[in-house]
Amino acid sequence: MTSALDLSTLGADELRQLASRLLEEMRGKQALIDKLTHEMAILKRLKFAASSEAYTGEQQRMLFETLDTDIEALTAEIEQLNPTKTADGEGQKQQPKRTALPASLPRKEVRHDPDSTTCACGCQLQRIGEDVAEKLDYQPGVFTVERHVRGKWVCRQCETLVQAPVPPQIIDKGIPTAGLLAHVLIAKYLDHLPLYRQSGIYGRAGFAIPDSTLAQWVGVCGVQLQPLVDALSEELLAQRVLHADETPVAMLKPGNGKTHRAYLWSYCSTAMNDMKAVVFDFAESRAGRHAGEFLGDWRGTLICDDFSGYKHLFKQGIIEAGCMAHARRKFHELYANHKSQIAEEALKLFGVLYDIEREVQPLDAESRQEMRNRLARPAADTLHTWLLTQRQRVPDGSATAKAINYSLGRWGALTHYLEDGAVPIDNNWVENQIRPIALGKKNWLFAGSLRAGQRAAAVMTLLHSARLNGHDVHAYMKDVLERLPTLPASRITELLPHRWTPANPPDSLLQYPVNVGWLGAYSRVETAGQGKPDFSACVAIQAGQSQGTLSRERVNDGAKHECRAVMVRIPTQETEESRLRRQRCQLSGSEFGRVKARKVAHFYYA
């Protein structure tokens, strides 16, 4: 903000220019606020109008879930654009009175006290009370409550009151912890569970959370995570070689109750790149302009199929690299359906190229290109000559002719990888990133709106990129949601999946699921050192032991529930011997006496 002293040094013309610029910024911001407010009004009308009754069953619940999430996201965006109204209380929506969390849930206290209990005047502060805020946490199958206790300290001499500040949260004054929010996002966007199904699961776990509440949480998280997705997109576009692909997703048009085909575009770095990332972009159509809008001024090598939407990009300076797997696939279909001898011979020639490619994968780009020139280029020339010969023998219009024409027509793009050691032979890497979305499409039925699709693309970008980098996605998302409210914008890249390291790595035990159960019984096991373990049966491998020992102890979990599970311990500094013991435990529960591989328990790595 310009200070009064700065203004006093400006001339009349400079003041007029400054006022004109500020007025223009205000008009632009107000126009955006009006646009978002209008969009919110439309969503509310769709939710509460009689036309919504045309939807029944799962469609209605999923539509309402999307509308609630979009409305909350719009509210958060408007508050970011116009924070003064909410700070003064004007325009702030009335918060419903919150129901107290059930007393039966286990509780863990988190105390927040001042760094020093000595007053500035030198006197010792006296504790006179405390403020308590309860947050709902969730580990698979079990709810717990975090009691955040902020003690009040006062100096009797100068009557100074000192209290630790409220820790910043992704959802201000909300009840969910970062762990619960991470679980909701992962269940919705990675495990593809709609919110109404999650609500039922939470109800069986002991605390029912309404669909609308979950939708509000998801909407706020989507807005808060967007800057992180934007930063990841910028870093991805700094790479020289990218994959691109797209897959159709049905998108609902609430006005008439019908769906139309939208598309989820995927862009990712190559498997040979040290930077592992995938960015999803949801768009209303398959028009090539969507790819152009995402790539912007990027000029590099794009590996893609023969879709015409990419063609205008290559006229603007982007280098095209084709997908050899697409060319091979056309011959594979001929062989699988008709046992074509020509297709069988083609598959053998393609196989030579892929055999060479498997050999060069571990090499650096320069060595890879040198080996490709020496081995793959002669094999590609042999394939090309064979294709030309066979094309003269097969009739026009036949399926075999079409397969050969595809390869010959794209031969330059298909063999571009021979010119650059950093370019892969095909586009399978990005297709593998899209494949899990197929399961989601069966569960979603449709994307509820353009905004809902874009929000899903943003969250899936972070979750799938974390998976690509080998992270525990729950640990990653929980840590991001904990650190994001206090992290300066200049340091947001620290939370990108390929740069992320845990802020507080655990120093006791970590959980890993394995297919091991004890006498068929199952329950969650608490992390040791963070509350009472709620297990009654434990297989423990101590350092130097060649066999696991079965110990039985009953520990109350605070809710007076006795439970059973299996736990395996190995040293933090894993040796070759302990690694082999861990593998044996994962592969066969029968090696540990009465342990049976029947239900999922938890594996602990100490």
The pLDDT of residue 97 is 62
Beta strand 126-139 pairing with 142-154: antiparallel
Residue 313 CA to residue 302 CA, distance in Å, equals 9
Which residue would you say has higher pLDDT here, 445 or 263?
Answer: 263
149-163, 474-488, 495-509, 531-545: least confident range: 531-545
3-state secondary structure of 541: coil
Confidence of residue 595 (pLDDT cuts 50, 70, 90): very low
Which residue would you say has higher pLDDT here, 36 or 278?
Answer: 278
Confidence of residue 25 (pLDDT cuts 50, 70, 90): confident
Percent of the chain with pLDDT over 90: 37
Average pLDDT over residues 125-132: 84
The pLDDT of residue 581 is 43
Nearest one of 231, 301, 232 to 270, comparing CA atoms: 301
3-state secondary structure of 364: coil
Q: What is the pLDDT of residues 503-515, one digit of tens each?
A: 765 433 333 333 3
Taking residue 475's Cβ as centre, other Cβ atoms within 10 Å add up to 18
Q: What is the pLDDT of residues 511-565, one digit of tens each?
A: 333 333 322 222 333 333 333 333 333 333 222 233 333 333 333 333 333 333 3
Residue 481 CA to residue 72 CA, distance in Å, equals 18
| Six-digit token string for 124 | 């010792």
3-state secondary structure of 338: helix
Residue 112 CA to residue 128 CA, distance in Å, equals 15
Please compute Rg for the chain using Cα positions: 30
Chain CA centroid to CA 463, Å: 2
Token pair 């979750």 is found at 463
Number of H helices, E strands in the chain: 19, 15
Length reported for the chain? 606
Which residue would you say has higher pLDDT here, 269 or 30?
Answer: 269
Residue 309 CA to residue 318 CA, distance in Å, equals 13
Q: What is the pLDDT of residues 463-474, one digit of tens each?
A: 999 999 999 999
45: pLDDT strictly greater than 80: no
Residue 585 CA to residue 589 CA, distance in Å, equals 6
The pLDDT of residue 471 is 92
How many CA atoms does the CB half-sphere of 194 hold within 13 Å?
Answer: 22
Q: Are 405 and 240 in contact (CB under 8 A)?
A: no
The pLDDT of residue 34 is 67
Residue 316 CA to residue 461 CA, distance in Å, equals 27
The pLDDT of residue 451 is 82
The H or E element containing residue 249 is strand 241-253
Average pLDDT over residues 439-448: 60
Q: What is the pLDDT of residues 358-404, one digit of tens each?
A: 999 999 999 999 999 999 999 999 999 999 999 999 988 888 999 99
Summary mean pLDDT of the chain: 75
Residue 163 CA to residue 508 CA, distance in Å, equals 31
Which residue would you say has higher pLDDT here, 605 or 462?
Answer: 462
Percent of the chain with pLDDT over 70: 68
Residue 235 CA to residue 90 CA, distance in Å, equals 39
Side chain identity at residue 434, one-letter code: I
Q: What is the pLDDT of residues 56-80, one digit of tens each?
A: 445 555 555 555 665 566 566 666 6
The pLDDT of residue 24 is 79
The pLDDT of residue 11 is 74
36-45, 306-315, 531-540: least confident range: 531-540
Residue 197 CA to residue 204 CA, distance in Å, equals 11
Taking residue 576's Cβ as centre, other Cβ atoms within 10 Å add up to 7
Which residue would you say has higher pLDDT here, 259 or 471?
Answer: 471
Q: Are 303 and 269 in contact (CB under 8 A)?
A: no
3-state secondary structure of 262: strand
Q: What is the pLDDT of residues 218-256, one digit of tens each?
A: 988 988 999 999 999 999 999 999 999 998 888 876 555
The pLDDT of residue 398 is 87
Average pLDDT over residues 293-302: 95
Average pLDDT over residues 95-100: 65
10: pLDDT strictly greater than 70: yes
Residue 567 CA to residue 539 CA, distance in Å, equals 5
Characterise 419 by phi-psi region: left (phi > 0), alpha (psi -120 to 50), beta (else): alpha
The pLDDT of residue 353 is 96
Task: State the helix-helix crossing angle for 57-81 and 450-468, rounded to 10 degrees.
Answer: 80
Nearest one of 261, 177, 219, 235 to 67, comparing CA atoms: 219
Instruction: Please state the three-class secondary structure of 400-447 as a single string.
Output: HHHHHHHHHHCHHHHCHHHCCCCCCCCCHHHHHHHHHHHHHHHHHCCE
Average pLDDT over residues 204-211: 87
Nearest one of 159, 302, 287, 198 to 244, comparing CA atoms: 302
User: E strands along 490-540, which residues?
Assistant: 510-514, 517-518, 537-540
